[in-house]
Structure 1
């Protein structure tokens, strides 16, 4: 199995260096590395260039001219990863994600055990994500797949894993063949729910595992869930969730009903915990308006004129065609 790691960076100079050092120190070496910089202004690019020098032609740094958000950065990075036809897994992460030394080895070992136990229909894997205190990070703790069959649950448990229906981009392993079949994350999401929609899309009709044998540290400022105090980002939470429910085929109809109810409850908790409800009301109003009246633009159109290399843009266009056919 050949693994290409994709790291998306934006103005976290110290953390991007730590993350790249951790990738270089994996007990099972990463085969290739793609770093996408979202027009950082704090010297992150220089740090990345220094670290990538040791990788030689196994690494690629893509310097975008505009900040395309996490969604755009991952779309570019994943496209650049699957340009290499030999890539089997794409390992994605943010620049504040520091993989443990056995993060890659643990994930691949889980896949090998799973493959040996039956049909190799694994499309997505997700690492165990902890905070700096070593405890599970509530922002990235996955839930078991709803309505997973007994055979699914038992097969996953037998390899030390858990069946999932979606996963965050904080250390997710995406099957390259599935990416080539179903396309890329939607860059127009910019922030939030792009990983939810995309991983759920890859997992519709396929299998996904939460793999505790792969551990990474998510170095956020606080150990808390993303809905604790979202501030102006709440706009993206509302708009993008509505885009998922209205426009995406990632979820079955009954799943959309359940997730919509869960989202309403989450938004209520967010309002209760917020110290600036006026801002949240404005975000809710604008997010609801845009989420119900607009549709996400094509990723190709969003990323045009942002500095995406020609070969990667060609791959983005090809993958969009593949998504439409699927």
Structure 2
């Protein structure tokens, strides 16, 4: 078992400096004494760095906390990669990285629980927390990898279909015990440095969405496991930097990320079939809602935008309705 592992905590900020400082305080209170924290500002351009510099001067923690300003906002993965490329303050390489969203706050013992799990499972590449909202309701953060069947099931939203395709449901019920899963959301996740050395960091083609799915898929293909550890708990507000709760229409980069994931992971033929399955399921869902008088669960223009994007046409959803983030969540 690894003794005194070197841990670097990575916080990504985009225009939420006070929230990020709250997350940093929660992380510092839960981190081992030897762990360090790096805050990456994702080219906020709103004075965040000045706020951080003043706060850190007041905290007077020396090399235990440092700031990095990104030269551009390349998205969630690109911002995280800046932190994941860092070393410890003494120049040594971290053994583990802990990614924490800027609006997520670890409970006491969360980080130690994840770290302990990783040290006891040498082939664990990722270990993710139980995530709950401020209302104490759990967030769905443990998933199966997307598939053609999973795309259809998730889009059609029809009980008999879901029972038939239960094995493919992307977001199954959360496990009650520590369980190996396909992938997990990155709001609070421990990552083994050796895993990144083998498979690489986040693919920066993804501006937002599907970047964790891709990273953990690459890890799985290389023999690294991903775990959901419900004993490690965080409170997560969600969608603060992205403004997702205010969206009236899915942004273009969601469709672009989805398409890139399927093409990269499975090839163009599979990606086309997955697109067709999602499109068909969404259309059937809309038809059933029209016939029964129910409100559709898809955002406005979703089926139209999905169809246009699948044909290589601009969806138009990236203009007035999408904000350019990004530091976190998507749950």
Counterpart residue number, 2:128 = 126
SS at match of 1:178: helix
Corresponding position: 1:190 with 2:194: no
Partner of 1:219: 237
Pick the aligned partner of 2:306 from 273, 278, 284.
Answer: 284
Q: Distance in 2 between matches of 1:161 and 1:257?
A: 35
Q: What is the rounded CA distance, in whole Å, between the counterparts of 2:262 and 2:197 in structure 1?
A: 24
Partner of residue 194 from structure 2, selected from 152, 171, 177? 177
Counterpart selection for 1:49 from 46, 53, 75:
53
Q: Distance in 2 between matches of 1:247 and 1:221?
A: 27
1:240 aligns with 2:257: yes
* Equivalent position of 1:66 in the other structure: 72
Q: In the TM superposition, what is the alpha-carbon distance from 1:12 to its structure 2 partner?
A: 1.0
User: Secondary structure of 1:11's match?
Assistant: coil
Tell me the equivalent position of 2:142.
142
1:18-37 to 2 correspondence within 5 Å?
A: 18-26=22-30, 28-29=32-33, 31-37=35-41
Corresponding residue number in structure 1 for 2:93: 86
- 1:209 matched to 2:215? The reply is no
Distance in 1, matches of 2:274 and 2:110, equals 30
Aligned residues: 265
Counterpart contact for 2:39–2:66, Cα < 8 Å: yes
Contact 2:144 2:183 in 1 (8 A): no
Could you say which structure has the larger radius of gyration?
Answer: 2
Greater helix percent: which structure?
A: 1
Q: Is the 8 A contact 1:239 1:288 kept in 2?
A: no
Residues in 2 aligned to 1:188 and 1:11: alpha-carbon distance in whole angstroms: 22
> In 2, Cα distance between the equivalents of 1:244 and 1:30?
37
Displacement after TM superposition at 1:165 (Å): 1.1
Unpaired segments ≥5 residues, structure 1: 147-156, 293-326
